[in-house]
Amino acid sequence: MNANIQRILDKATAGERLTFDEGVALFDCKDLLALGRAADVVCKRLHPEPYRTFNIDRNVNYTNICAAVCDFCAFYRKSNDADAYVLPREELYQKIEETIALGGDQILMQGGLHPSYKLDWYEELLRDLRTRYPSVNLHAFSPPEIWHFHKLNKLPLRDVLQRLKAAGLGSLPGGGGEILVDRVRQAMTVNKCLTDEWLEVHRVWHELGGRSTCTMMFGHIETLPERIETLDRLRRLQDETKGFTAFICWTFQPEHTAMAEVHPAGAYEYLKTQAIARLYLDNIPNIQSSWVTQGPKIGQMGLLFGANDMGSLMIEENVVSKAGTVFHLSLDQIKSAIRELGYIPRQRNVFYQYIDGEVSGQWPVASGQWPLASGQWSVASAKNNDVQTVPLGALRNLSVLKSAPATSHRPPATDH
């Protein structure tokens, strides 16, 4: 391995902060397994407990009507489109009650930037849901939505967030992050918040005592330094506010979008980028694996590349569906994926508190190995697409080809 790359990996695993240039340099690393091992070391230092987590929630898209135009989105509609909708309240109630019945404690409620609904409509919605379902966290309204409320209502951003919080907003998702570089955002979107505005929504929410997640969608028109710039902007804001609970990244999937000509990044690029994110984001405690877009095996493998969380059971997902196909995992499959790696699965809430009671007894978690379980994994060489077999846990005979998409289906993702 290149001596400079090894130095950077050693620096990260020793707990030292990487510089911007060091983050960019890691993309030159051709040894995917070395990146994974380093990310796993950092993950285990942050999470030495024998648990890996998941949550149960439902992604409720209350409307697909959107004033923005995003080339990468297959979900949005204009008000006069035949399939434009706003969910009836009774249907929303039914979705929440089904979620509770399945053990869920949260709904992720996001929608398009509706061109005419004023802030009082959203306040009334939150108050209604909070009154009916006081135990359900309302993880709602992405930063582009919040910024849209601020502009449409001509109110200070802080006032908007204070009013939503008083009405029942529990936490803020990190949707609409994409790449936090204005060159990229301006090239792909119209009428949507730019980088500083996206970050300002989180900053003010954190100042009000709120917590939120952050995201990155990559593999489209961004450069590798722009991926690191995105991570750097998140890291700097976290230094300032300490309000992010988790980071989630996923690859752009172009099917059914205006960017269908973009060749999709595959599982190799996903695992590499997630590992680098774990090494770079030294102040964000949790990384979620994106099985919804990568599929169950790559999602499981993400737990060996810096992630400590399998994300959500995802009772419902609509944005992903519009782009092609959705992966579905049952609760038992999620738990099995965690157990196969030698960890105890635990259900958590959006604040990463365990909500499944006490876990008693011993668990056979091995130490001093990477990964925790025994077995073989087939992985493509970074220099070519020759498959070589290497020890990498219980994920047997899984080929990860650098040039191939993660699956034959190419959905964009959604945030938790």
* Model confidence band, residue 30 (pLDDT cutoffs 50, 70, 90): very high
Dist CA 305 CA 35 (whole Å): 8
Contact 412, 209 (CB under 8 A): no
* Model confidence band, residue 383 (pLDDT cutoffs 50, 70, 90): very low
The pLDDT of 327-331, averaged and rounded, is: 80
pLDDT for the residue 360 = 54
Report the number of distinct structural domains present in the chain.
Answer: 1
The answer to whether residue 186 sits within a structural domain is yes
pLDDT for the residue 10 = 98
Three-class DSSP category at 398: coil
* Model confidence band, residue 385 (pLDDT cutoffs 50, 70, 90): very low
The answer to whether residue 167 sits within a structural domain is yes
Strand order in the sheet with 309-312: 212-218, 244-251, 286-288, 309-312, 51-55, 344-347
Predicted confidence (pLDDT) per residue in 183-212, tens digit: 999 998 877 899 999 999 999 999 999 999
Share of the chain above pLDDT 90, in %: 67
Q: In the predicted model, is pLDDT for residue 14 greater than 90?
A: yes
Three-class DSSP category at 48: coil
Three-class DSSP category at 387: strand
396 or 200: whose pLDDT is higher?
A: 200
Predicted confidence (pLDDT) per residue in 295-310, tens digit: 899 999 999 999 999 9
- Domain assignment of residue 228, given as a range: 40-347
Predicted confidence (pLDDT) per residue in 93-148, tens digit: 999 999 999 999 999 999 877 888 999 999 999 999 999 999 999 999 999 999 99
Q: In the predicted model, is pLDDT for residue 181 greater than 70?
A: yes
Contact 147, 201 (CB under 8 A): yes
Q: In the predicted model, is pLDDT for residue 388 greater than 80?
A: no
313 or 337: whose pLDDT is higher?
A: 337
The answer to whether residue 381 sits within a structural domain is no
pLDDT for the residue 26 = 98
The answer to whether residue 126 sits within a structural domain is yes
Q: Across 11-15, 190-194, 312-316, which has the greatest mean pLDDT? A: 11-15
The answer to whether residue 8 sits within a structural domain is no
The answer to whether residue 19 sits within a structural domain is no
pLDDT for the residue 103 = 92
Dist CA 131 CA 253 (whole Å): 38
- Residue 239, domain CATH: 3.20.20.70
Two structure tokens written together for 196: 């500083």
DSSP string for 320-359: HHHTS------HHHHHHHHHTTT-EEEEB-TT--B-S---
* Model confidence band, residue 9 (pLDDT cutoffs 50, 70, 90): very high
Residue 333's CB is within 10 A of a number of other CB atoms, namely 15
Q: Which residue, 175, 282, 273, is CA-closest to 228? A: 273
The answer to whether residue 268 sits within a structural domain is yes
- Choice among 70-74, 217-221, 368-372 with the minimum mean pLDDT: 368-372
The answer to whether residue 11 sits within a structural domain is no
Q: What is the pTM of this model?
A: 0.85
Dist CA 415 CA 292 (whole Å): 10
415 or 101: whose pLDDT is higher?
A: 101
Q: In the predicted model, is pLDDT for residue 72 greater than 70?
A: no
Q: In the predicted model, is pLDDT for residue 374 greater than 80?
A: no
Dist CA 324 CA 408 (whole Å): 10
Q: In the predicted model, is pLDDT for residue 369 greater than 70?
A: no
Which residues contact residue 98 at a Cβ distance below 8 angstroms, ignoring those fewer than 6 apart? 58, 315
Predicted confidence (pLDDT) per residue in 260-296, tens digit: 777 778 899 999 999 999 999 999 999 999 888 888 9
Mean pLDDT of the chain, nearest integer? 84
Dist CA 231 CA 229 (whole Å): 5
* Model confidence band, residue 401 (pLDDT cutoffs 50, 70, 90): very low
Q: Across 63-72, 153-162, 324-333, which has the greatest mean pLDDT? A: 153-162
Q: Burial-class residue 289 by CB neighbours within 10 Å (0-12, 13-18, 19+).
A: buried
Three-class DSSP category at 118: coil
